[in-house]
Structure 1
Amino acid sequence: MSTPSAQRPAITVKPADVRYPALSRGFNQRWIAAPEYVRMVTTPQGVAAALSEAVNQPAADPARTRVTVRSGGHCYEDFVCGDDVRVILDVSPMCGMYYDAAMEAWCVEAGATNWHVYSHLFPRSGRALPAGSCYSVGLGGHITGGGYGLLSRQAGLTVDYLYAVEVAVVTERRTVDLVVATRDDPDPDRRDLWWAHTGGGGGNFGVVTRFWFRDLPTPPRHVLLTARSWDWKGFTQEQFTHLVSAYGEYFAAHQDPGTAAGRLFTLLTLTHSNGGRNQIGLVAQVDAESDDPDEDEGAAAMLGFLEAVDGPKTGASKPMAWSAAEHGPIQDAWHPRLMPWLTATQALNGSGQNRCGKYKSAYLRRPFSPRQIEAMWDYLGNNAHQDYDNPEAVIQIDSYGSAVNRPPRDTAVPQRDSILKMQYQVYWRRPSDADPGHPERHLAWIRDTYQATFADTGGVPVIGGRTDGCYINYPDLDLNDPEWNTSAQPWSQLYYKDAYPRLRRVKARWDPLNVFRHGQSVEPDPDMGD
C-alpha cells in the first residue's frame, strides 16, 4: 500500500517551460489561461506553503489576481483557467491512497482521479466509490460537488461516504492553515466545513488536499452491460416520443434500491441527428450473476427495461458503433454481456477528445412532459436550427434517484428526490490557441435548446414541480444571465436550494478574504463580518 510522501518537492512551471501550454488549460479547450506560473504541489504541507506564497505575492498584472486550484482539470467553465487567473495550484501529483487506521477510513488524496480509485482502491480493498464513468475526472472537484456514477442508484453519492476532509484555508491575516474537518467533529465550525464539501462545489472554501471515506460500498461481483443505438435516418417523431417517454416512466416506477430494477443504471444519449447521419445511443448496466432472466433478478430487470424502451414502437435497435458525448462506442454488446464489475467499468471509461465545450444540466423529478419531448425533438436537427448539423451536440439523460434519494445523513446536496439527471453538451474544435473556433453557433444551439425544453419555467429547470434545479459539477454561467434565465430563481437557488444560506456562512468563516472566487462561487454572508 502506498503512503503519502512527506518530502516531495513542488514544481513551478512558468511560461517559458515546455510544460506550460498543457498545464495552463484543462479538459475544456475553450478556456486557456495565462498565469504567472502553475505550481505542481505534492503534499498537504506543500499545498499550504504554495497557497501562502500565492496569496501574499503582488500581482504582476492587476487584471490577473485569482488563485485557482485544479485536480483533474474537468471544470466546464472558466473557473480554473480564466483570463483573470494569476496562479494555478495543481494537485494532480497528489494521487495516493491508503488505509488510515487512526481515522478508521480510506484516505484518498485530492489529485486522484476516478480511474485511480477504480484501478487502485478496488483491488486493494474490495470497495469502490459510486463515482463517475469518465476516468480522468479528478476527485478534488468530483467529490465536493456531490459526484455520482453507475453505482449511485444502488449505493448513493460519493459524498454519502465522506467522513473527513483536509483543506488548506486562508485566514484574515493571510496566513494558511491546514484544517481536518470530520462529520462528527466536536467543533461546529469544522463540522460545517466538512458539510460544505459534501456538495457545496469545488474551489469555494480552500484547497482540498485529502479525503477520508468510511463504510464504502462493495461493488457487484458481476454486471450485465448492454449498448444499443438507433439510426436517426428514418427515426420518426412518434418513435422518439415513445423512447423518451418510456425511459422516464420506467425510472419513475423503479425507485427501490432493494430491487434489481431500482439498481439498474442507464445513459440515454440523444445526439443531434446531423441530417440523419447520426445515432441515438443507450448504455445500461445492472448487477447480476447470470444472463438468464429465469435465474437471475438482474437479468430479469435488464430484460424488462429493454422491453420497455426497445420494442416495436421504437423500431429495431442496432449495436453501438459510434462514440457519443464523452464516451467511446461499446461494441459487441447489443446482447447484454455478463462481466466482472471492474471489466465493465473499463469498457465504459472515457473522457472525450481535446475539444471545446459548453454544458448545461437539469434534475427531473417526474417524466418529461409532451412539450419538453417535442422541444428536444425539434432542436435535435428536426424543426429548429435547420442550418445546424453538428454531430457532437447531445442531450444526455442519466437514470438517477433510488439510493441517492435515501441519504444516510445530512449533506449539502439538496436534490434528493429526482429520477433523472440531464446533461446538455456541445463540442467543437479550435484551430489554434489564438482561434476559438467560432463558438457562436454552437452556443446558440445549446442555449436555444435548453431554453425551449424549459420554456414553461423561465428557460431553466426551476425548483419545484417537474424539475429540481441544476448540478453544480456541470456549471453554466448562463444561469446568471437574465437573457437565458427568466425565472425568479437565481443560479444559487438552482444549484443549492435551501442549503445556500448555510454555505454562505461557511464561506464567510473559512474564506473571509474571498480568495477562492469565480463566476459562480459561493458568496460570503455579509452578516458574518465584523
Structure 2
Amino acid sequence: MTTPSRRRFVAGTFTVGAAGLLGAGMSPVPAAAATTGGHRGPGVTGGGADITPGDPRYEVLATRGRNKRFTARPAAFRVATTTEEVVRAVGEAARSGQRVAVRSGGHCYENFVGDPAVRLVIDLGDMNAVAYDPRMRAVMIESGARLMDVYRRLYDTWGVTLPGGASATVGIGGHVAGGGYGALSRRFGVAADHVYAVEVVVADAAGRARAVVATREPEDPHRDLWWAHTGGGGGNFGVVTRYWFRSPGATGDDPAHLLPRPPAEILSSAVIFPREGMDRAAMRRLVGDFGRWHERNSGAGSPYTGLYGGLVLLSRLRENDPGHSAVSFTHVDAGLPDAERLLERYVTAVTEGVGVTPYVPGTVRVPWFTATTQLTEAQDAEKGRQKIKSAYLRRSLTDRQIDALFTHLDSADHGSEAASVSLQSYGGRINTVGSSATATAHRDAVVNVIFMNTWQDPDADAENIGWLRRMYQDVFATTGGVPVPGRGGADGCYINYPDLDMADPEWNTSGVPWHRLYYKDNYARLQRIKAVWDPRQVFGHDLGVRPV
C-alpha cells in the first residue's frame, strides 16, 4: 500500500526531507499578559499528582511517545501544569534517590524516557503557554508547547517566528535544548541562537529542588546554565520549564521586533526522479550536485541564504513501488530580488547531468505559514517504529559514499516502505556563530543528512535496524563507521537525533567517543556544568552528559 508521504510525491506537493528531530534564589518570572491560548495534552490533565499503574490515565501516558519501539512504564508519571509542581516532583524524586526523565513532545528516537531505571517521568505537555514578558523584554514559551502551535501563535500575534524544525508536534523544550534547526536557519541561525533566558528546575547535593532562571547576560553568575541549554541536549541538567526568546541585537520592547520576521511568501518547487534510469552513475551525479552546490553557496553573504532545499533518496519497495527514486524539494523566499531566477538556477545546478528525465510539477507561490504547514504535514506522515541516524557534512559525499547509499537503498534486505536518506540545507547564518559561543558546536557544516527507517511490525525490528546500521557504517567506512568531525568531510552528529550506536564499539570503530560526535570540543564544559547543577545525578540517559 502506498504510504501518505509517497502519495505526496505523486501529487508533487511533497516539500520536505522529513525522513524525511538562572539566578540562585531568583523567583521564577511570572507569565505576563498577552498569553495566547494553548492546547492541553491528549487525554490527560495534570495538577501535580502521581499517575501510577492501575490508573486509566497511565496507559495513555505510557504510549504517548511517537517512536512506537518504546513504551515508558515508570513507577509514576507526573503531569505538571506549573513550575511549582515540577519543583515539588524533582525534590521528592531527588530525596528518595529516584531517576527522573522529562518529556515535552515525546519525539525521542531512543529509549531515554522508557529506560527501566527511570522511576518518575515528568510530562510537560500541559505547559504550553506563549506570552510576551515585559520584565524580560522577551517572548516566554513554556516547554510543553509544540512547534506548530508556537509558530502559529508567534505569527498570528506578532508576525514573528523562530527558525526551528518542521515536525508539528515536537515539544519546544527538548528541541531548543538540542539546538533546533529548520527551513529558516540558513537565514536566521538555529532556534537556540535566539534564547535569551531559560528556567530550569534543578536539585542540589542535599536533594533540594528549585527553579533557576539563567540568562545570556555576561554578568549573570549562572550564565553557564543558559549556555548548556543552547545545544547541550535535553534531560541532562534539570527540567526546562520555560524559555524566553529575544534575538541577539534586538532592542526595544515591541515583541513584533524582537524575533525574526519570516518571508511573506514562499516559492515552493519539487523535482521527482523516477526509479527507471537511476543507476549508480545517475545517483552519483544527483547527490554530488546537491553537495557541491551547498559547498559553493552556504556562506552568510550568499544570496541563497533565503533558500532551503532537500534531496530525499527513497529505498526500493518490495511491492507497490510508485516508481520514485528521489525527490528534490526547494523553498525560496519569494521576496528576494530575482527569486524565480535564483530558484531556477538552483534546480538546474542540483539536477544537471543526472541523465534521468524527472517529473516537475511546477512552482507554486504560497504564504509562508501555508508552506510551513505543508512541511509539517510531510514530515509527520510516517509513524510507527523508528530508527534514525544523522551526519553533518562540510562537503559533498564522495562517489564511494554515494555508491554505498545506492547499494543499500536499492536492496530488499529490509521490510519497510518508508526507509530513506534525506540531505538538507545547512550553513549560512548558522555558521556565523562561534563553535563555543553556544553549546551547538557544529558551525561549519553545509548539509545535514538524516538516515531514517520506519516500520510497523515489532517482529521486523532486527531486520530494519540492521539494514540502517549497515548502510550508515558503509557510508562512513573510512572513518570507523561514523561521521568523525574533521575527517572525510564530516562534522559529527545532531544530538536531537540521538543514536545509541554512536556509543557502541560494534558500530563505532573509529576510536572517537560518542560525545565528540555530538558536542565536539564543548563536551568538557558541559561536564563541568553537569557537576555543578546535577550533583546527585537525578537526570541522565544513555547519551547523557557525564560529570567531570
Q: Which residue of 2 aligns with 1:346?
A: 373
Q: In the alignment, what sits opposite 2:61?
A: 23
Deviation, 1:458, is 0.5
3 and 370 in structure 1: CA distance in 2 versus 1, 3 angstrom threshold: closer
Once the two structures are aligned, what percentage of the paired residues are identical? 41
Instruction: Give the Cα separation in 1 of the matches to 2:37 and 2:278.
Output: 54
* Separation in 1, partners of 2:517, 2:68: 26
Distance in 1 separating the partners of 2:120 and 2:224: 28
Which deviates more from structure 2 when the two are superposed, residues 137-146 or residues 270-279? 270-279
Render the CA deviation track for 1:104-136: whole Å, top value 9, x for unaligned.
Answer: 111111111111111111111111000001110
Aligned partner of residue 86 in structure 1, secondary structure: strand
Give yes or no for the alignment of 1:479 onto 2:517.
no
What's the CA shift for 1:312? 5.4
Supply the distance in 1 between the matched residues of 2:323 and 2:420 (Cα, whole angstroms): 11
Between 1:91-100 and 1:33-42, the stretch displaced more is: 33-42
Write the distance in 2 (CA, Å) between the matches of 1:298 and 1:260: 10
Cα deviation, residue 277, structure 1:
4.6
Query: Aligned to 2:359, which of 300, 318, 339?
Result: 318
Greater alpha carbon shift after TM alignment, 45-54 vs 85-94: 45-54
Following TM superposition, by how much is the alpha carbon of 1:38 offset from its aligned partner in structure 2, in angstroms? Answer: 1.2
Structure 1 residue identity aligned to 2:450: Q
Q: Deviations over 1:466-488 (max 9, x none)?
A: 11111111001011111110112
Q: 3-state SS of the aligned residue for 2:410?
A: helix
Distance 1:172 1:88 in 2: 21
- What corresponds to 2:408 in structure 1? 379
Question: 2:437 aligned with 1:410, yes or no?
Answer: yes
Deviations 1:414-439 (A, max 9, x none): 11000100111111114xxxxx3331
The residue number in structure 2 matching 1:66 is 99
User: Offset of 1:353 from its aligned partner?
Assistant: 4.1
Partners in 2 of 1:407 and 1:218 — Cα distance?
20
Deviates further, 400-409 or 155-164? 400-409
Moved more, 511-520 or 249-258: 249-258
Q: Rate the CA distance shift 1:176–1:154 in 2: closer, same or farther, 3 A.
A: same
Aligned to 1:464: 486
| Residue type of the alignment partner of 2:60 | A
Divergent runs of 4+, >4 A: 275-278
Residue of structure 2 in register with 1:152 after alignment: 185
After TM superposition, the structure 1 = structure 2 runs for residues 34-73 of structure 1, keeping only pairs within 5 Å, are 34-57=73-96, 65-73=98-106
* 1:444 aligned residue (455, 462, 466): 466
Mapped partners of 1:174, 1:504: distance in 2: 20
Aligned to 2:284: 241
Q: Distance in 1 between matches of 2:364 and 2:300?
A: 22
Tell me if the contact between 1:401 and 1:418 (Cα under 8 Å) persists in the aligned partners: yes
Map 1:85-234 to 2 at 5 A. 85-184=118-217, 186-188=219-221, 190-215=222-247, 216-234=259-277
CA shift, 1:11, in A, is 4.8
Distance 2:521 2:359 in 1: 44
Task: Quote the RMSD (CA, aligned, Å).
Answer: 2.0
3-state SS of 2:114 partner: coil
Q: In structure 1, what is the Cα distance between the partners aligned to 2:465 and 2:424? A: 22
User: How far, CA to CA, are the matches of 1:309 and 1:389 in structure 2?
Assistant: 30
Identify unmatched segments of 5+ residues in structure 2: 1-33, 39-45, 248-258
- Kindly state the Cα deviation for residue 390 of structure 1 after the two structures are TM-superposed: 2.6
Q: Is the 8 A contact 1:360 1:425 kept in 2?
A: yes
- Residue deviations 1:361-405, cap 9 Å, x none? 1010011111111111111125xxx43353211111111101110
The 2-side partners of 1:277 and 1:299 are apart by 30
Does the residue aligned with 2:177 lie in a helix, a strand or coil?
Answer: coil
Q: Secondary structure at the match of 2:423?
A: strand
Task: Flag the 1:359–1:273 CA change in 2: closer, same or farther, 3 A.
Answer: same
Larger displacement relative to structure 2 (306-315 or 94-103): 306-315
1:298 CA drift (Å): 1.9
2:37 and 2:285 map into 1 onto residues whose CA distance is: 52
Aligned length: 490
**8 A Cα contact 2:163 2:190, kept in partner:** yes
CA–CA distance in structure 1, aligned partners of residues 497 and 227 of structure 2: 20
1:168–1:178 contact (8 Å) kept in structure 2: yes
Residue 417 of structure 2 is aligned to residue 391 of structure 1 = yes
Stretches of structure 1 that go unaligned for 5 or more consecutive residues are 59-64, 291-295, 320-333, 431-435, 526-530
- What TM-score does the superposition give when structure 2 sets the normalisation length? 0.86
Instruction: Kindly provide the CA deviation profile for residues 143-198 of structure 1, in whole angstroms up to 9, marking residues without a partner as x.
Output: 0000000000111101111110000001111110100000115343x100000000
Deviation for aligned residue 1:37: 1.7
Distance in 2 (alpha carbons) for counterparts of 1:204 and 1:337: 43
Corresponding residue number in structure 2 for 1:429: 456
Amino acid at match of 1:201: G
Matched, 1:289 2:335: yes
Aligned counterpart, 2:47 = 9
Paired residue type of 1:445: W
AA paired with 1:15?
P
SS of the residue 2:277 aligns to: coil
